Amino acid sequence: MSMLTEKLKLSNGVEIPLIGLGVWQMSNDEAEKSVAYALKNGYNHIDTARTYKNEEGVGRGIKASGVKREDLFLTTKISAYSKTYDETKQDIKDSLKALETDFLDLVIIHGPRPWGKTKEDGRWFDENKDVWRALEEEYEAGTLKAIGVSNFEIDDIENLIATANVKPMINQIKYHIGSRDEELVQFCQENDMVVEAYSPIGTGKLLDNEAIKKIAEKYGKSTAQISIRYAFQKGLVVLPKSVHEEYISENAEINFEISVPDMDYLNRLVL
């Protein structure tokens, strides 16, 4: 049984489905097929980004599914390279056009720094405030139903909160068995931010992990299902990605509970 109808309220009252389909590293054609299949089979949450270069495919997949736009939660991300007010506005305009929609349910800043840059190169605190100002304007105008960030650390978030009119509602981070930042998760939750877990299967590397396999056998589930349920059971929104129809369906079938001892065991796993 799937958990696709489960939702969580953001700080502004908007409801976000707890399971979404991620489309990272998909071509436009793959995104179109995967999105159409997912939506026809119960998914109602799609997560894409400007830098994935597949928003057009996602838009076509939505149209092919026949699902009404208002029944779908659609997320995209401002490029991590877009660090000015004007670039952010242009990204939003381009995303709306590519996805063929008049509004977006969630738009997040994809990263606190341009890809390839480290903290030693700078923190981009002022630039991120400019990006956030553009997001706030579009949110206030109703074009964006919710706004947030991705890959932001505690001080990156504190920087925005210090001057924000609207606090970030989401932080989308890499989170999976063997790779998790509980201090960051706690900080976000204490600041009324929902945490989304991308790569809950560790970009595939958890699938062949013998320790997780043993737990999966115990529950009669796949290692992917155990990995996704793990993050889900922690209270996070999960964004598994697959281009294979059987796995898209299987990834949502996490209506079971991992026991406290088994969760403790998975918590202690070092990969």
Tokens of 189: 């939750």
In a domain, 138, yes or no: yes
Just list the catalytic residues: 52
Domain that holds residue 150: 7-268
In a domain, 2, yes or no: no
CATH of the domain at 211: 3.20.20.100
> What is the total count of domains within the chain?
1
Given this model, what pLDDT does residue 1 score? Answer: 53
Tens-digit pLDDT string for the chain (271 aa): 568 999 999 999 999 999 999 999 999 999 999 999 999 999 999 999 999 999 999 999 999 999 999 999 999 999 999 999 999 999 999 999 999 999 999 999 999 999 999 999 999 999 999 999 999 999 999 999 999 999 999 999 999 999 999 999 999 999 999 999 999 999 999 999 999 999 999 988 899 999 999 999 999 999 999 999 999 999 999 999 999 999 999 999 999 999 999 999 999 998 8
Alpha carbons within 13 angstroms on the beta-carbon side of residue 23 total 34
Given this model, what pLDDT does residue 222 score? Answer: 96
In a domain, 1, yes or no: no
